[in-house]
């Protein structure tokens, strides 16, 4: 059955120097020849060549263009593909697309080019999902992680594990079918060792998901402190603009303020909270309760201390919130006469959190007003979340919830195999759980997924990709 030829704008719909209209499908060259006027026919051109000419609507010239010709199968989609490079004004790009559609192409659905690349075997599902991650990358680490997956790091790892599973499954099935020639006695221990090795590999990938989420989505960061400690001033410094209202009046920030901050190669999803204190103001109390709630879910807590004032009962309410959390204590207002020292706050933290936090919670002196000490904070956050854990040459980071759930399912099935072996169950029980794990892993690469899931995944892509 012949597939429809599709077309879409593959560059952003905003005025720019260049706009690209992509055509893909069996009729791509024929449609291009209906709208293109140049020295030679597109259908007769060599693959991977560029040609100068004009796009015409009947006899009217629409734009002066460069047309790239790419013949199947050496294309992104695996199909004959034409890319029309026109001037980047939104109106002219739309006119070129309308002319192409008028001459036989169908408007592409969101993600349909990448979907065709997957269906035509040009990439597996994990690589296809990495395409949208590359597009959505907001920092260097997220980009490198997505590029690693796009190059096939997840595909290779999953394929290796599936090969181990199917080898053991095939051996068991063969032995059960032909017991006279294939000896299965004692194989349970061999399978147990292989299963435990696979479980360890799966658990390592599952554990990488938290780092993967932080790399892709950013570090969920909550700023805590009592009123007037300088939380909002810190948010403004990190954001690079006046995001929060700053006054000398306590309780100015009553609700949650959110801002995404670029910190070097990292992204921080920063939440500035209401100052934590006892208050009779109903609205402010709601803000304080929300601050505590967000702190419980944070990847990182930045506790801002007003070093020019004595520690009080409000500080004693905050310190327990950072127990067992990634946290940094900032001694703010170092430009004033300070009362609270690093030793003092460290000792207080030890008492109120019930542990020795001298090495666990870093303390940094800053002045949000004068923007001093911010570089030290940036360096410390990188040490806490990045240094020593990011290596895109070897480490694979699962940053996709769907993939993580599939890994968890596979791990559970492999653990059932070990449980069956320990319980002395018959060998055919092993095969059931082995195949469940095999299928779960196949859903990551797209080798065992239904059409509905495929459609759902690619519907999240932007138009033209």
Domain co-membership, 379 together with 254: yes
Instruction: Report the mean per-residue pLDDT for the chain.
Output: 81
Q: Is residue 392 part of a domain?
A: no
- Together in a domain, 269 and 327: yes
Q: Are residues 447 and 354 in the same domain?
A: no
Asked whether residue 395 is domain-assigned, the answer is: no
Q: Percentage of residues in the chain with pLDDT exceeding 90?
A: 31
Q: For residue 13, is it within any domain?
A: yes
Q: Specify the pairing of strand 49-57 against strand 36-38.
A: antiparallel
227 & 300 share domain: yes
Q: Mean pLDDT over residues 182-202, rounded? A: 86
Max mean pLDDT range (188-192, 250-254, 264-268, 311-315)? 188-192
Tell me: do 147 and 222 sit in the same domain: no
**Same-domain status, 244 and 364:** yes
Query: Tokens 């092993």 sit at which residue?
Result: 430
CATH number for the domain harbouring residue 27: 3.30.1360.120
pLDDT of residue 180: 67
Reported as a pLDDT band with limits 50, 70 and 90, residue 24 is very high
Q: Quick one: pLDDT at residue 249?
A: 39
- Domain match, 17 and 117 both: yes
Within-domain flag for 205: yes
Higher pLDDT, 284 or 68: 68
Q: In this structure, is residue 88 part of a structural domain? A: yes
CA–CA gap between residue 177 and residue 437 (Å, rounded): 22
Domain final position from 360, 385, 410: 385
Asked whether residue 416 carries a pLDDT value surpassing 90, the answer given is: yes
Longest dimension (CA), the chain: 88
Q: Which helix (H) or strand (E) holds 117?
A: helix 112-119
Are 313 and 230 part of one and the same domain? yes
Range of the domain at 414: 128-213+402-459
Whether residue 425 lies inside any domain: the answer is yes
Sign of CA dihedral 332, 334, 339, 340: positive
231-280 per-position pLDDT tens digit: 888 888 887 755 544 444 344 444 467 777 777 667 788 887 766 655 55
Report which of 115, 124, 32, 150 is spatially closest to residue 463, judged by C-alpha positions.
115
Whether 84 and 116 map to the same domain: the answer is yes
- Residue (of 145, 263, 154) closest to 215 by Cα position: 145
Last residue of a domain, one of 331, 351, 385: 385
Mean pLDDT of 315-328: 80
pLDDT digits (tens, 9 = 90+) for 381-414: 887 776 544 444 456 677 678 888 999 999 999 9
Is residue 188, in this structure, part of any structural domain at all?
Answer: yes
* pLDDT tens for each residue of 80-131: 999 999 998 899 999 999 999 999 999 999 889 999 998 898 988 888 877 7
User: What is the spatial distance between Cα 390 and Cα 208, in angstroms, rounded to a whole number?
Assistant: 10
Domain CATH for 262: 3.40.50.300
Whether residue 334 sits in one domain with residue 244 = yes
Contact in structure between 465 and 76 (CB atoms under 8 Å): no
Separation CA 14–CA 19 (nearest Å): 9
pLDDT at site 59: 87
Q: Are residues 329 and 199 in the same domain?
A: no
Torsion of Cα atoms, 72 then 75 then 77 then 82, to 10°: -80
- Asked whether the predicted pLDDT for residue 452 surpasses 90, the reply is no
* CA–CA gap between residue 213 and residue 211 (Å, rounded): 5
pLDDT digits (tens, 9 = 90+) for 177-187: 776 666 677 78
Q: Mean of the pLDDT values across residues 371-381?
A: 85
Over residues 2-22, the pLDDT tens digits come to 689 999 999 888 888 899 999
Q: Which tops the pLDDT comparison, 296 or 35?
A: 35
Stretch 282-300: mean pLDDT: 70
More confident residue, 252 or 340: 340
Where a domain ends, among 79, 97, 122?
122
Provide the domain count of the chain: 3
397 assigned to some structural domain: no
Name which residue leads in pLDDT, 30 or 170: 30
CA distance 18 to 86: 6
Least confident of 97-106, 133-142, 349-358: 349-358
Higher pLDDT, 280 or 368: 368
CATH number, position 407: 1.20.120.430
pLDDT given at position 379? 85
**Are both 235 and 265 inside the same structural domain?**
yes
């Amino acid at each position: 059955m012949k597939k429809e030829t599709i077309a879409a704008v593959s560059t952003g719909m905003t005025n720019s120097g260049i706009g690209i209209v992509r055509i893909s499908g069996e009729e791509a060259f024929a449609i291009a020849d209906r709208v293109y006027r140049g020295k030679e026919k597109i259908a007769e051109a060599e693959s991977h060549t560029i040609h100068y000419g004009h796009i015409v609507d009947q006899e009217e010239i629409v734009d002066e263009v460069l047309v790239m010709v790419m013949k199947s199968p050496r294309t992104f989609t695996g199909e004959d593909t034409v890319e029309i490079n026109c001037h980047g004004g939104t109106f002219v790009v739309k006119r070129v697309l309308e002319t192409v559609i008028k001459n036989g192409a169908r408007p592409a659905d969101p993600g349909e080019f990448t979907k065709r690349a997957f269906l035509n075997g040009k990439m597996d599902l994990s690589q296809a999902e990495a395409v949208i991650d590359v597009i959505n990358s907001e920092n260097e680490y997220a980009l490198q992680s997505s590029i690693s997956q796009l190059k096939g790091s997840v595909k290779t790892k999953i394929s290796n594990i599936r090969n181990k599973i199917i080898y053991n499954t095939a051996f068991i099935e063969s032995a059960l079918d032909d017991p006279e020639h294939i000896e299965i006695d004692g194989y349970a221990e061999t399978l147990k060792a292989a299963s435990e090795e696979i479980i360890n590999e799966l658990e390592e990938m599952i554990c990488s998901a938290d780092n993967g989420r932080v790399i892709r989505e950013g570090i969920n960061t909550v700023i805590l402190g009592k009123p007037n400690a300088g939380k909002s001033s810190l948010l403004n410094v990190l954001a690079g603009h006046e995001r929060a209202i700053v006054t000398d009046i306590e309780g100015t920030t009553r609700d949650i303020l959110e801002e995404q901050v670029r910190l070097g190669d990292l992204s921080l999803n920063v939440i500035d909270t209401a100052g934590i204190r006892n208050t009779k103001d109903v609205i402010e109390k709601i803000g304080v309760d929300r601050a505590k709630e967000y702190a419980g879910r944070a990847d990182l807590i930045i506790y801002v201390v007003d070093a020019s004032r004595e520690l009080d009962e409000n500080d004693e309410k905050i310190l327990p919130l950072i127990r067992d959390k990634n946290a940094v204590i900032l001694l703010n207002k170092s430009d004033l006469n300070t009362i609270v020292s690093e030793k003092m706050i460290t000792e207080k933290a030890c008492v109120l959190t019930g542990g020795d936090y001298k090495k666990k919670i870093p303390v940094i002196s800053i002045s949000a007003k004068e923007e001093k000490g911010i570089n030290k904070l940036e360096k410390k956050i990188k040490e806490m979340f990045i240094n020593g854990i990011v290596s895109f040459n070897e480490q694979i980071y699962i940053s996709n919830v769907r993939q993580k759930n599939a890994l968890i399912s596979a791990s559970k099935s492999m653990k059932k195999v070990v449980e069956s072996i320990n319980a002395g169950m018959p060998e055919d029980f092993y095969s059931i759980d082995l195949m469940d794990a095999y299928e779960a892993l196949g859903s990551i690469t797209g080798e065992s997924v239904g059409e509905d899931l495929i459609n759902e995944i690619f519907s999240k892509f932007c138009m033209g990709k």
